[in-house]
Amino acid sequence: MNEKGKRILVIDDESQILRLLKVSLSVHGYEVYEAYNAEEGLKTISEMKPDLIILDLGLPDSDGIDVLTKVRESSRVPIVVLTAREHENDKVLAFDLGADDYVTKPFGMGELLARVRNALRHSYDISDDEILKFGDITIDQENREVRVNDNLIKLTPTEYQLLTLLAQNKGKILTHHQILSTIWGPNTDSNSHYLRIYIGQLRKKLERDPSEPIHVINEPGVGYKLV
């Protein structure tokens, strides 16, 4: 995927953060747009249709979680949360509502750029023209649609990539390392908590009883498989 020219909207009320991100992202070929609050951010999203959003949760006029919720009502644009909130509950809530990644302040610019590249790559991955079925779950790879009992299920780009990775290896156990390296890139074993969160999200959306999954199966200490 060619990153040059991809439009990134940064929603953050800290002027220093905005300046840093605009300079750093522009150097790497991205077109960077800015919004200082939730109202301005939502208006800009509607007008310009960005390729990716970097979203702070601590906005002056509304919580960033509200922005995330409103965006996900109509769009699957990749959203990378960039915030000072470090509690696991905040991360889980953001992921549950459709965030594609979560980075805490202070942050390393190299890490953030890698997260941006990953989120964009997941969003623009080209899938094979094939329909996969797992009981009441149907995955239409050509149209990037997932249905349960013919009901369309909304997945974030990362959730979709995780599901299709498992589906393309149906019945085969993929280790934590295999999944992490494929979706989040090499040397990401330390982010194994992300995998648990995304598996939990998929089960909530796909399983009749997420506490007793029959499709997304865990092999304790090893990995996951789709059956």
Question: What single-letter DSSP state applies at residue 213?
Answer: -
User: What kind of architecture, by CATH, is found in domain 131-226?
Assistant: Orthogonal Bundle (1.10)
What pTM did the predictor assign?
0.70
Q: Can you tell me the distance from the alpha carbon of 182 to that of 51, in angstroms, rounded to the nearest whole number?
A: 22
pLDDT, residue 16, reads: 95
For the segment 65-76, the average pLDDT, to the nearest whole number, is 91
- pLDDT above 80 (res 4): no
Burial of residue 177, with CB atoms counted within 10 A of its CB: 0-12 exposed, 13-18 middle, 19 or more buried: middle
pLDDT, residue 96, reads: 79
pLDDT, residue 100, reads: 85
Please report which confidence band the pLDDT of residue 159 belongs to, taking 50, 70 and 90 as the band edges: very high
For the segment 8-23, the average pLDDT, to the nearest whole number, is 96
Q: Phi and psi at residue 147, in whole multiples of 5°? A: -125, 145
For the segment 39-45, the average pLDDT, to the nearest whole number, is 96
Rg (CA), the chain: 18
pLDDT, residue 2, reads: 58
Please report which confidence band the pLDDT of residue 169 belongs to, taking 50, 70 and 90 as the band edges: confident
- pLDDT above 80 (res 158): yes
Burial 91-103 (b: 16+ CB within 10 A, else e): bbebbebbbbbbe
What percent of the chain is predicted at pLDDT more than 70?
Answer: 93
Q: Which of 22-36, 43-57, 121-135 has the lowest mean pLDDT?
A: 121-135
The average confidence (pLDDT) of the chain is: 89
pLDDT, residue 124, reads: 60
Check if CATH label 3.40.50.9100 holds for domain 7-124.
no
100-146: pLDDT as tens digits: 889 999 999 999 999 999 888 766 654 445 788 888 999 988 788 99
Q: Phi and psi at residue 70, in whole multiples of 5°? A: -65, -40
Question: What does 91-144 look like in DSSP terms, one character per residue?
Answer: HHHHHHTT-SEEEESS--HHHHHHHHHHHHHHHHPPPPS-EEEETTEEEETTTT
Q: Which residues of the chain are in CATH 3.40.50.2300 domains?
A: 7-124
Q: Among residues 32, 28, 27, 29, which one has the least CA distance to residue 8?
A: 32
pLDDT, residue 121, reads: 78
pLDDT, residue 128, reads: 47
The first and second tokens of residue 170, run together, are 């149906």
Please report which confidence band the pLDDT of residue 12 belongs to, taking 50, 70 and 90 as the band edges: very high
pLDDT, residue 133, reads: 87
